[in-house]
Structure 1
Amino acid sequence: MNDPDRPRRRYVSPLRTAALEATHGRIIASARELFTTLGYQATTLAAIAEAAGVSVPRVNLSGTKAHLLVEAYQRSSGNEAVARPITDQSTFQQLMALPTEEALAAYVAWLADHHARSLRLWFALREAAALDPEATAAYETITTSDEQACVAGVAWAAERGLLRGDAPIEDRACSWYVVSSAEAYDRYVLRHGWTHEQYAAWVRRALDHLVFDLA
């Protein structure tokens, strides 16, 4: 006999959950493609819905336009979470534990791959930050995390005995930020025509001369 006072269990269908996740993934993939090719302002929710083969209300269930951009950037860049410091993420913890030269080689290779996958979305996010408060907050969180990662990188280099001279940590971290920036990758690879190997070699040399041996 059914007890009318007993709370009803909510049945969760694995098939329905999988279908919802697949639809959400398709929406994010469509958003990523449109933000990459058109930028933030020119991309509409209607265009995302059409590309994903869903309705605009269904797109709205996946999040705001700014949220879709931020999630697309996260997925493309490999970030585990926008609000989580990059040095706390598993990839970087494993990388920083490697022998020094192996760690630096792995870092510059990761950086080239990171920018190759997420550069256009980063520029779309920078554009969105001037237009949408939600995107502004995410942009500031990511840039702050990147700045903190550069400070952590300098501290790591100090522990490994790589630093020379008496330049302040803040100056070295600022140089690291510029060297590793999306703008530097855009200038050398997309505009100047360098290969990823040339770019990675430049980053490695730049770290030596502009961060580790900063006068």
Structure 2
Amino acid sequence: MSDGVKRRYDSSRRTEQARENRLRILRAAHELFVSQGYGATTVAEVAAAAGVAPETVYSAFRTKLTLLRRAWDLAVGGDDLDVHLLERPELRAVFDEPDLRARLVRFAGVNTAIMGRTAGLRRAVEHAAGGDPAAAEFLAEIDRARLEALGVHARAAAATGHLTAAEETCRDVLFATTDGTLWRTLVEGRGWTDEDYAAWLSHLWIATLVEASGRST
């Protein structure tokens, strides 16, 4: 009996250690990709920064591109839980808000937090895409997924009956303002706070998508 308990404990501990190693590796990869570029970063450097052997990185992720993909997933979600972004509590709270203006305020706050986690890494992917076909395809994949997700937001906005722009216009406005460029320009470049940025972004969306016709809701 005691041997069985010990084996279960050891297995559980090994699983947790493996998860901790993966998180350290992903965070180290994120920092290095942002600071020195995806192409210039080696797996050996990631391993050294994470305090593990290169073989551990390869065992967990196999390739540097997979490492980039998983680092992106971690940055978008903010954790390593296997939950689609649209199903996360902060996004469910956005969709559950019946008032479209208040919903856009909520969404601007959520998006600002995501930009803070992903904008630097996206820029690293953009730079790598110029000379790396795999990185270019990954960037296109990121934007395809983002466009699809923002289409869900646009359909939900139209369903409220208070969207004054076309549903496709709503999707495209959201798409054009959520790739990290505006956040980098205003927060990193001009020193805005995240709170100021989120407030400005929500006002922009509301003015364009809800109040454009001058109709009150």
TM-score, length-normalised on structure 1?
0.80
Q: In the aligned structure 2, how far is the partner of 1:213 from the partner of 1:13?
A: 57
* 8 Å CA contact 1:79, 1:86 repeated in 2: no
Question: How has the CA–CA distance of structure 1 residues 58 and 27 changed in structure 2, closer, same or farther, with 3 Å as cutoff?
Answer: same
Question: How has the CA–CA distance of structure 1 residues 85 and 30 changed in structure 2, closer, same or farther, with 3 Å as cutoff?
Answer: closer
Amino acid at match of 1:38: Q
How do 1:1-215 and structure 2 match up within 5 A? 13-63=11-61, 64-78=63-77, 86-100=85-99, 101-130=101-130, 131-133=132-134, 135-164=135-164, 167-213=165-211
TM-score, length-normalised on structure 2?
0.80
* 8 Å CA contact 1:176, 1:210 repeated in 2: no
Amino acid at match of 2:195: E
* 8 Å CA contact 1:85, 1:145 repeated in 2: no
Q: In the aligned structure 2, how far is the partner of 1:188 from the partner of 1:138?
A: 26
CA RMSD, Structure 1 to Structure 2 (Å): 2.7
Structure 1 unaligned regions, length at least 5: 1-10
Residues 147-156 or 86-95, more deviating = 86-95
Amino acid at match of 2:73: Q
For residues 91-117 of structure 1, the C-alpha deviation after alignment (integer angstroms, 9 at most, x for no partner) is 423320123244322211111111112
* 8 Å CA contact 1:39, 1:124 repeated in 2: yes
For residues 89-144 of structure 1, the C-alpha deviation after alignment (integer angstroms, 9 at most, x for no partner) is 554233201232443222111111111122111212233444152x4443333211
* 8 Å CA contact 1:172, 1:214 repeated in 2: no
Q: In the aligned structure 2, how far is the partner of 1:46 from the partner of 1:31?
A: 10
CA shift for structure 1 position 186:
1.0
* 8 Å CA contact 1:49, 1:59 repeated in 2: yes
Q: In the aligned structure 2, how far is the partner of 1:202 from the partner of 1:152?
A: 23
Question: How has the CA–CA distance of structure 1 residues 84 and 137 changed in structure 2, closer, same or farther, with 3 Å as cutoff?
Answer: farther
Aligned sequence identity (%):
26
Partner SS, residue 162 of structure 1: coil
Count of residues paired in the alignment = 202
For residues 144-202 of structure 1, the C-alpha deviation after alignment (integer angstroms, 9 at most, x for no partner) is 121122222222222222222xx543233212211223111111111122221221121
Q: In the aligned structure 2, how far is the partner of 1:53 from the partner of 1:136?
A: 30
- Partner of residue 3, structure 1: none
CA shift for structure 1 position 85:
6.5
Amino acid at match of 1:192: R
